[in-house]
Amino acid sequence: MQAGVIAVQGDVAEHAAAVRNAAAAHDEPAEVVEVRDSGIVSDCDVLLLPGGESTTISRLIRREGIDEEIRDHVASGKPVLATCAGLIVCSRDAKDDRVDALELVDVSVDRNAFGRQKDSFEAKLSVAGLDDPFHAVFIRAPLIDEVDGGVETLATVDGRPVAVRDGPVVATAFHPELTADSRIHDLAFFPENEVVA
Ligand code: GLN
């Protein structure tokens, strides 16, 4: 499996490690490629959009023409995991002119709402599709304030969605790449397979 981590900015190495772990658990080694230029995404089976700074990620993927390639990847039904800033970039509306939302996940987000209230926090989440709670790390997290039609909510905090699935895209307000637990990467990339013991 070729996994592309959008690497214009953000916590790239952590995602690379997490997707390697998830793939290894399925006996399918991942070759990870860091995407900073156009022309690479079309070779990737799965994509990861890391946490970081959504305004910067948005500007750089647009400048490099990677934004359209990500849209094409999703249009062809291939999986994406987008975390935190990645969720903001993939949303339908980020309510910030500096973010050119890719409209891949039919939610609107408030990029600063959670952040201002609670700069950083951790929570044990019950996540649809996982047997045991997931220890989630939130850092200046976006708030998902509207969820539309075909979007499945996978986890909530205080009744607010913090993990969603829209077709081939799984997006989280938290950072599953920052803990050793790769089950969210697993959910995104191997949704129907049992983990090989
Ligand atoms: N709030 C940040 C943004 O707007 C995202 C923070 C993060 O990815 N940890 O980009």
**Where are the domains positioned within the chain?**
2-189
Residue-wise pLDDT for 162-194, tens only, equals 999 999 999 999 999 999 999 999 999 998 754
54 alpha carbon – ligand 1 mean position (Å): 6
Q: Which of 15, 73, 175, 185 is catalytic?
A: 175
Contact 196, 25 (CB under 8 A): yes
Q: Is 139 annotated as a binding residue?
A: yes
- Using the structure block, give the residue that is written with the tokens 């009744």: 159
Task: Name the strands in the sheet holding 105-110, side by side, starting at the edge strand that comes first in the sequence.
Answer: 91-93, 105-110, 143-147
What is residue 175's predicted lDDT score, i.e. its pLDDT? Answer: 97
What is residue 197's predicted lDDT score, i.e. its pLDDT? Answer: 47
Closest CA to 110 of 81, 130, 88: 88
Q: Which of 14, 69, 73, 177 is catalytic?
A: 177
Residue-wise pLDDT for 123-177, tens only, equals 999 999 999 999 999 999 999 999 998 999 999 999 999 999 999 999 999 999 9
- What does pTM read for this prediction? 0.95
**Counting every residue, how long is the chain?**
197
- Ligand 1 pocket: which of 15, 55, 99, 111 to mutate (most atoms within 8 A of CB): 111
What is residue 113's predicted lDDT score, i.e. its pLDDT? Answer: 82
Q: 2-189 in CATH: which number?
A: 3.40.50.880
Supply φ then ψ for residue 90, to 5 degrees: -85, -10
Q: What is the ipTM of this complex?
A: 0.95
What is the 8-class DSSP label of residue 11? -
**Known catalytic residue at 175:** yes
Residue-wise pLDDT for 83-113, tens only, equals 999 999 999 999 999 999 999 999 999 998 8
- Ligand 1 pocket: which of 53, 81, 110 to mutate (most atoms within 8 A of CB): 53
